[in-house]
């Protein structure tokens, strides 16, 4: 049986998950720089997000999806951005967005469960590591004992580890009245640890405010994340999980819906952060990509290489970072997938190291200890 102290330590305040199943986690550290990691669970189609319309084999390989390129937003001579990402295009034009393509973690199979495990732990193989790379990052930042919080019923794997975190989820139940909260608080007055945890929970509830109740759309989540991050006592590290990227059928409409939500969420985050956006890095990543060719149901199947995003005021943006492998059948991975030529681990290690002023090789050893990642430099301003 779990005792009262352990229960409260792992569940500072509780409730239902957000309606579209996102999860958000944050941690305080002694730095003005902020990091947001958005995980696209389900394997997002990078070829439909950052579209390689300039590849000579694009139209013949993508077939029914080639029409998407006609309305897409031009990035450079090779790539265009999905039209649902118009706010992200303004970041790109302002030098605050970098899109990386043909990127993948070390995982080369096609299981969501295993792929997400590798993405979140930073291991070379599924279940090789038990903690998340983002939790390990906390050991490299000032204030190792910083409080970390997941705005979710459970803490996502990427933030689990030796650094203790709590969790908070907006509830669909009626708010407890002040008299009840006061009585519960008194139960913990004599216990320094529980008293501190309870106060932290109440502080988070107050910071979330009315924003926490608006759970039905991604923009509300972005606004909530910004609210929790702003100010001297705000979050420094945030993770947000989004679902719905597994587009086996009817991909065109489903992907547009998810990308519209992502665009709105990041836009609301940027608006809510205000001037603090200039010290913020946002990383968007998925566990693997999807097949180059469509399947028989207007969708795509599990693939390998995909696209990732770096956004924010510290990004050296306005470009697509890619060693493009080509879309001819002979150039595809196992004859069906976009061949990965860029390491997700190297991308993340390089960006995070520069963002927080950590020696790059040290960051790589801690975040991705078994993958021999060589951090990519020049992605983010120190």
Is there a domain that residue 131 lies in? yes
Which are the contacts of 118, defined by CB distance < 8 A and separation ≥ 6?
105, 106, 107, 124, 125, 126, 287
The pLDDT score that the predictor gives to residue 94 is 98
Is there a domain that residue 381 lies in? no
Is there a domain that residue 62 lies in? yes
Which of residues 13 and 337 earns the better pLDDT score? Answer: 337
Is there a domain that residue 245 lies in? yes
In contact, 252 and 245? CB cutoff 8 Å: no
Query: Which residues lie across from 25 on neighbouring strands?
Result: 150, 239
Q: Is the pLDDT of residue 287 over 60?
A: yes
Mean pLDDT of 231-253: 90
Helix axes 192-208, 178-187, angle to 10 degrees: 150
Distance, in Å, from the CA atom of 223 to the CA atom of 269, rounded to the nearest integer, reads 5
Distance, in Å, from the CA atom of 102 to the CA atom of 342, rounded to the nearest integer, reads 6
The pLDDT score that the predictor gives to residue 10 is 36
Q: Is the pLDDT of residue 372 over 60?
A: yes
Is there a domain that residue 311 lies in? yes
Is there a domain that residue 261 lies in? yes
pLDDT, tens digit, for every residue of 55-77?
999 999 999 999 989 999 999 99
pLDDT, tens digit, for every residue of 184-196?
656 766 676 665 6
Q: Cβ of 78: how many Cβ atoms within 10 Å?
A: 17
Whole-model pTM?
0.85
Which of residues 318 and 6 earns the better pLDDT score? Answer: 318
As given in the structure block, the two tokens for residue 69 are: 């390129």
List the one residue out of 149, 146, 106, 101 whose CA is nearest residue 125: 106
Domain range for 89: 4-367
Which of residues 154 and 267 earns the better pLDDT score? Answer: 267
The pLDDT score that the predictor gives to residue 141 is 85
How many domains does the structure of the chain reveal? 1
List the one residue out of 379, 317, 322, 316 whose CA is nearest residue 353: 379
Q: Is the pLDDT of residue 99 over 60?
A: yes
Distance, in Å, from the CA atom of 130 to the CA atom of 123, rounded to the nearest integer, reads 9
Distance, in Å, from the CA atom of 353 to the CA atom of 367, rounded to the nearest integer, reads 10
Q: Where are the alpha helices (DSSP H) in the chain?
A: 4-10, 46-49, 58-62, 86-93, 112-121, 133-137, 178-187, 192-208, 218-229, 251-273, 344-356, 360-367
The pLDDT score that the predictor gives to residue 26 is 54
């Amino acid at each position: 049986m779990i005792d009262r102290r352990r229960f409260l330590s792992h569940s500072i305040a509780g409730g239902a998950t957000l309606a579209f199943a996102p999860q958000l986690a944050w941690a305080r550290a002694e730095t003005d720089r902020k990091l947001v990691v958005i995980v696209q669970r389900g394997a997002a189609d990078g070829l439909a997000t950052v579209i390689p319309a300039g590849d000579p084999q694009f139209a013949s390989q993508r077939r029914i999806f080639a029409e998407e390129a006609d309305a897409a937003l031009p990035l450079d001579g090779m790539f265009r951005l999905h039209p649902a990402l118009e706010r992200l295009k303004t970041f790109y034009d302002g030098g605050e967005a970098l899109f990386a393509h043909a990127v993948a973690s070390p995982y080369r199979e096609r299981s969501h469960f295993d792929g997400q495990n590798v993405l979140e732990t930073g291991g070379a193989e599924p279940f090789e590591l038990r903690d998340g790379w983002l939790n390990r990052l906390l050991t490299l930042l000032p204030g190792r004992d910083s409080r970390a919080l997941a705005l979710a019923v459970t803490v996502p794997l990427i933030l689990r580890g030796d650094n203790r975190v709590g969790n908070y989820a907006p509830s669909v139940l009626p708010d407890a009245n002040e008299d009840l909260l006061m009585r519960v608080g008194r139960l913990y007055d004599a216990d320094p640890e529980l008293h501190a945890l309870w106060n932290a929970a109440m502080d988070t509830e107050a910071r979330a405010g009315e924003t926490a109740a608006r759970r039905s759309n991604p923009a509300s989540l972005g606004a909530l994340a910004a609210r929790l991050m702003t100010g001297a006592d705000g979050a420094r590290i945030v993770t947000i999980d989004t679902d719905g990227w597994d587009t086996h059928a009817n991909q065109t409409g489903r992907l547009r819906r998810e990308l519209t939500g992502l665009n709105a969420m990041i836009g609301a985050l940027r608006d809510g952060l205000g001037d603090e956006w200039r010290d913020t890095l946002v990383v968007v990543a998925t566990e693997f990509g999807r097949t180059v060719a469509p399947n028989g149901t207007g969708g795509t199947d599990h693939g390998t290489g995909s696209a990732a995003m770096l956004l924010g005021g510290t990004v050296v943006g306005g470009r697509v970072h890619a060693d493009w492998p080509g879309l001819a059948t002979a150039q595809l991975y196992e004859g069906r997938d976009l061949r990965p030529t860029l390491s997700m681990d190297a991308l993340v290690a390089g960006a995070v190291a520069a963002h927080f002023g950590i020696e790059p090789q040290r960051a790589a050893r801690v975040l991705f200890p078994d993958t021999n990642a060589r951090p990519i430099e020049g992605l983010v301003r120190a």
